[in-house]
Amino acid sequence: MENADICTYNSLIHVLCLSGRVRDALAVWEELKVSGHEPDNVTYRVLIQGCCKSCRMGDAMRVFGEMEYDGFVGDTVLYNSVLDGLFKARRVGEGCELFEKMVKEGVRASCWTYNVLIDGLFRNGRGEAGFTLFCDLKKKKGHFVDGVTFSIVVLQLCREGKVDGAVKLVEEMEARGFSVDLVTISSLNPPLRTMNH
């Protein structure tokens, strides 16, 4: 693209990613690099998140590696996107390693980070690890769990047939001031009906 600056490249990559054309966005990124322009933090963020949303985790991790090589550090939001993508792609080991790296680099984990971790562990057959993490986070001072965290764990307990534990957790959720949403109540409904018959 003649006369294009980094903002133009970033905008084009962003639009391509939003429209699901990640392969084209990657091609524009390659063109950007040979054009003499340097990718910036925005370039990396948009492209990595686009790859993650399109389940192209190999590409996401390759771009993430180049980002680090170029001296850029991901922030909490970017790490959350990559963690979510890795767990959805069933790459649990890589997800756990990336979380450890995030902590080691001093990137602050948010409540959403922990929600991604707990949900990812549950969905990948690591329920005990997810539940242990949840229990540890509840004991810490700070805002490490929220209503979404509780809902994730309630749903998992219901999947495992541990309805009594799920009901107790809903009670604790309410006692802590978190609202119980329709999804949480719905996850309790079928197991409770089964118990009453």
Give 114-146 pLDDT, tens digit per residue.
999 999 999 999 999 999 999 999 988 877 899
Q: Contact, 89 vs 55, CB < 8 A?
A: yes
Distance, in Å, from the CA atom of 147 to the CA atom of 46, rounded to the nearest integer, reads 29
According to the model, what pLDDT value does residue 149 have? Answer: 94
Average confidence (pLDDT) over 4-23: 94
Identify the CA nearest to 159 among candidates 121, 122, 105: 122
Average confidence (pLDDT) over 21-32: 95
Confidence of residue 3 (pLDDT cuts 50, 70, 90): low
Average confidence (pLDDT) over 35-64: 95
Identify the CA nearest to 43 among candidates 19, 25, 58: 25
Q: Look at residue 191 and tell me whether its pLDDT is greater than 60.
A: no
According to the model, what pLDDT value does residue 144 have? Answer: 86
Q: Look at residue 192 and tell me whether its pLDDT is greater than 60.
A: no
Higher pLDDT, 153 or 36: 153
User: Buried b / exposed e across 148-171, counting CB within 10 Å, b at 16+?
Assistant: bbbbbbbbbbbeeebbebbbebbe
Q: Look at residue 194 and tell me whether its pLDDT is greater than 60.
A: no
Least confident of 9-23, 65-79, 91-105, 154-168: 154-168
According to the model, what pLDDT value does residue 196 have? Answer: 47
Q: Look at residue 52 and tell me whether its pLDDT is greater than 80.
A: yes
Distance, in Å, from the CA atom of 163 to the CA atom of 148, rounded to the nearest integer, reads 18
Mean pLDDT of the chain: 90
Distance, in Å, from the CA atom of 110 to the CA atom of 71, rounded to the nearest integer, reads 23
Q: Contact, 151 vs 181, CB < 8 A?
A: yes
The enclosing H or E element of 60 equals: helix 57-69
In terms of Cβ atoms closer than 10 Å to its own Cβ (0-12, 13-18, 19+), residue 66 is: middle
Distance, in Å, from the CA atom of 192 to the CA atom of 194, rounded to the nearest integer, reads 5
Length of the chain in terms of residues written = 197
Identify the CA nearest to 157 among candidates 122, 133, 132: 122
42 residue type, one letter = V
Q: Is the dihedral of CA 80, 85, 90, 94 positive or negative?
A: negative
Domains and CATH numbers, the chain: 1-72 (1.25.40.10), 73-127 (no CATH), 146-197 (no CATH)
Cα radius of gyration rounded to whole Å, the chain = 20
pTM for this model (two decimals): 0.87
